Structure 1
Amino acid sequence: MTDLLFYHLETRPLDSVLPMLLEKTLERGWRAVVEVGSRERLEVLDSALWTYSDDAFLPHGAATRTETDAEQPVILTDDETNPNAATVRFFVDRATPRPVEGYERLVYIFNGHDPDAVTEARQIWRDLKPQFNLTYWQQDQDGRWSKKA
């Protein structure tokens, strides 16, 4: 059964959390696809990943729907494709997790300061619980992750 990790943002925003999670993904030798809820947010996130740190480089690209997408270790998309044959799929900015084939891990990141996003996350947990190994991670006051369920 595929793992589905829920990350509940409370102290740090997505733009600072996602690069760290993607770095850990690449360290494990995995490729990642990041599904974003809209094309506008995809462009903002793409820019943020290029500038998040002066000391680090996160190789990635925004999906162009061409053969070069397959070369990217991390690709951002606003659709259901897996253009780089990733083994990890991130769902961010209201992209909704769903059963998909071919992934070792799915990661759902939601904003704890958005009541609608929290309500959606609870419903997704209930709906997908029979189909996945679910874990729930919450940020502490220092921004570190603590497994809660």
Structure 2
Amino acid sequence: MAEVLFYHLTESRLEEALPDLLERSLKRGWRVVVQAMTAERRDALDHHLWVFRDDAFLPHGTDAESNGALQPILLTIDPSQRANDAHVRFMVEGAVPATLDGYERGVYLFDGHDTEQLGSARSRWKVEKDAGHAVTYWQQSEDRRWVKKA
């Protein structure tokens, strides 16, 4: 079973929080899939990961390219895409995976100011818990640190 984390964004936007979490995953030696809801959002994240900080580099690509298997971070809209044999799967803004079986970790990132994303996260909590995954809930504090709430 996978460890499933729910990250409730309250103080920052996805573009601010995601790169740090991806860096942490790569430091652990994990390969990553990031699942977005639309091709436009996937492509916007692709662009953002190239320019998010001058002193950082996150090796990544999208499933729109033919070299997905080579990517340490693969951005996708496909709920079952795993060409890079990822250890961890991030789902952003309400994306839902086909399964988390075979992953070490699943991570849902959702905007606390978006009622649809909140509703999706609540329903996914129940689904993942009922599937037997170990679930935890993290919320941002005012200083943007992650605090475990459940």
Fold equivalence (TM over 0.5): yes
Q: Which residue of 1 aligns with 2:41?
A: 41
Structure 1 residues 42-121: aligned runs within 5 Å: 42-64=42-64, 66=66, 68-79=67-78, 80-97=80-97, 99-121=99-121
Superposed CA deviations along residues 23-43 of structure 1, whole A, max 9, x for unmatched, are 000000000000111101001
Structure 1, 93-102 or 42-51: larger mean CA deviation: 93-102
2:149 is aligned with 1:143: no
Q: Partner letter of residue 75 of structure 1?
A: L
* Aligned mates of 1:36, 1:9 — CA distance in 2: 16
* Aligned mates of 2:128, 2:57 — CA distance in 1: 34
1:64 offset after TM fit, Å?
2.8
Q: Partner letter of residue 148 of structure 1?
A: K
SS of 1:141's partner is coil
Runs of 4+ with >3 A deviation: none
* Aligned mates of 1:42, 1:88 — CA distance in 2: 17
Superposed CA deviations along residues 110-139 of structure 1, whole A, max 9, x for unmatched, are 110001211221121122212210000000
SS of 1:106's partner is strand
Identity score, percent: 49
Gap runs ≥5 in structure 1: none
Structure 1 residues 137 and 97: CA distance shift in structure 2, 3 A:
farther
SS of 1:34's partner is strand
- Tell me, yes or no, if the aligned pair for 2:31 and 2:73 is still in contact at 8 Å: yes
Structure 1, 114-123 or 104-113: larger mean CA deviation: 114-123
- Tell me, yes or no, if the aligned pair for 2:2 and 2:102 is still in contact at 8 Å: no
Normalising by structure 1, report the TM-score. 0.94
Superposed CA deviations along residues 39-89 of structure 1, whole A, max 9, x for unmatched, are 0100111111111101111111111352x2111100100102101011100
Q: CA RMSD in A?
A: 1.2
* Aligned mates of 1:82, 1:48 — CA distance in 2: 21
SS of 2:30's partner is coil
Q: Partner letter of residue 15 of structure 2?
A: D
Normalising by structure 2, report the TM-score. 0.94
